[in-house]
Amino acid sequence: MARIHLEQLSHSYRPQPRAEVEADWALRGLDLQWADGGAYALLGPSGCGKSTLLNLISGLLQPTQGRVRFDERDVTALEPGQRNIAQVFQFPVVYDTMSVFDNLAFPLRNRGMAEPDVKARVIEIAEMLDLGASLANRASGLTADGKQKISLGRGLVRSDVAAILFDEPLTVIDPHLKWRLRSKLKELHQRVRRTMIYVTHDQTEALTFAEQVVVMFDGQVVQSGTPVELFERPAHTFVGHFIGSPGMNLLPCEIDAAGVARFAGHAVANASRDLNAARGKKTELGVRPEFVHFAGVGIPVQIERASDVGRFRIVDARHGAQLIKLLVAEGEPVPERQAHLAFDAQRTRVYADGWAVA
């Protein structure tokens, strides 16, 4: 078990990266702490640096700058085999020629564990993963989700593992099996209480698995918090747009002389206080469709369309050139052509250059 601390981590894939050129760097100035035994998700679009970060933690990559510490111990120079981590990759990695049992026993045998201990441990982990019945079978014969379980098992089987890292492990799993494996992972985490770091670009996977989600964008950590925090108080427009379906509405706004945020001339009450600091930057109002509703007075809009998505409807409303989406519960009436919209002030924020204004 260990606390993982990433100190001022920056990484570039170029041999001679230039400090001032952002594009040269895959990761910039990351500083993160992961507490012992937590379930974390690293969420972000492709190319945001999350796989790089994972490989830096596991030791498959050496960082250009910065240090990696496990429990205050500097492991930056250590090989993956010496770091007490396990990693599950995007597609299942199993040793085809060996049986399921031998696959699970492999890491233990390499480290010189006595056979009876190996056997006991392998059986114990196999039971946890529902692989007990297939122990004698050839690993190559299993389905993709079975093989991923073996990969996971190789990580669980070692008692010295400080953290298990998952790099988009459900990529090749059939859709109808994904939720099963996801639930299994969550269940396993409750049971063994090892630190698990799960990298994905799928918000559902991240939000259902993790207690704490780290959202990354373009090589930087944009927000780190619980799923609820990310949803209700996005610290960056990217978080607002990436999380939630549909994503947050972003409306261009100005801060007037009196320090009031205005969208198309209409004053919009919001939760941001320090609006004067936002002047001069690109300012936007962010509010999720969940927190927009029809009202008697407010922003006048034309109703364009209402799509039925099951339990509620998504209404596309337009003010001038700006599209605003809102959610309407089943059964509630949607005005025909024109209406007024109001925003929930507590859930509305001003964003300056993408970052939420306090």
Partner 1 sequence: MSSKTPNQKAWWLVLPVVLLVAFNAVIPLMAVVNYSVQETFGNNEFFFEGVRWFQQVMQSARFREALQRQILFTAIVLAIQLPLGVAIALAMPRRGIGLSICLVLMAMPLLIPYNVVGAMWNIFALPDIGLMGKGLNELGFSFNYTRQPVAAWITLVAMDVWHWTSLVVLLAYAGLSAIPDAYYQAARIDGASKWAIFRHIQLPKLKHVLLIAVLLRFMDSFMIYTEAVVLTGGGPGNATTLLSIDLVKIALGQFDLGPAAAMSLIYFLIILLSSWLFYTVMTRDEEH
The C-alpha atoms of residue 188 and residue 182 are separated, in whole angstroms, by 10
State which H helix or E strand residue 283 sits in. strand 283-287
Spatial neighbors of 82 by CB under 8 A, at least 6 apart, are 59, 75
Contact between 79 and partner 1 by CB under 8 A: the answer reads yes
The C-alpha atoms of residue 120 and residue 135 are separated, in whole angstroms, by 13
Q: How far is the CB of 224 from partner 1 (least distance, A)?
A: 26
What is the torsion angle, in degrees rounded to the nearest 10, for the CA atoms of residue 76, residue 81, residue 85 and residue 87?
Answer: 110
Contact between 171 and partner 1 by CB under 8 A: the answer reads no
> Of 159 and 204, which has the nearer Cβ to partner 1?
159
The C-alpha atoms of residue 147 and residue 92 are separated, in whole angstroms, by 5
Count of CB atoms situated within 10 Å of the CB of 194: 21
Site string for partner 1, 110-129 (x = CB under 8 A): xx------------------
The C-alpha atoms of residue 73 and residue 59 are separated, in whole angstroms, by 14
Spatial neighbors of 225 by CB under 8 A, at least 6 apart, are 212, 213, 233, 235
Q: How far is the CB of 328 from partner 1 (least distance, A)?
A: 42
> Of 47 and 81, which has the nearer Cβ to partner 1?
81
Stretch that binds partner 1, among 106-114, 172-180, 217-225, 239-247 (CB under 8 A): 106-114
Contact between 91 and partner 1 by CB under 8 A: the answer reads yes
Contact between 87 and partner 1 by CB under 8 A: the answer reads yes
- Show the tokens assigned to 169: 């492990």
Contact between 169 and partner 1 by CB under 8 A: the answer reads no
Contact between 312 and partner 1 by CB under 8 A: the answer reads no
Stretch that binds partner 1, among 84-92, 219-227, 241-249, 334-342 (CB under 8 A): 84-92
Stretch that binds partner 1, among 3-11, 70-78, 79-87, 339-347 (CB under 8 A): 79-87
Cα separations (Å) of 67 from 43, 182, 230, 253?
A: 22, 31, 28, 41
Contact between 60 and partner 1 by CB under 8 A: the answer reads yes
Q: Per-residue DSSP letters for 166-187?
A: EESTTTTS-HHHHHHHHHHHHH
Site string for partner 1, 14-53 (x = CB under 8 A): ----------------------------------------
Stretch that binds partner 1, among 6-14, 93-101, 203-211, 310-318 (CB under 8 A): 93-101
User: What is the contact surface with partner 1 in residues (CB under 8 A)?
Assistant: 58, 60, 79-81, 85-87, 89-91, 93, 95-98, 106-107, 110-111, 151, 154
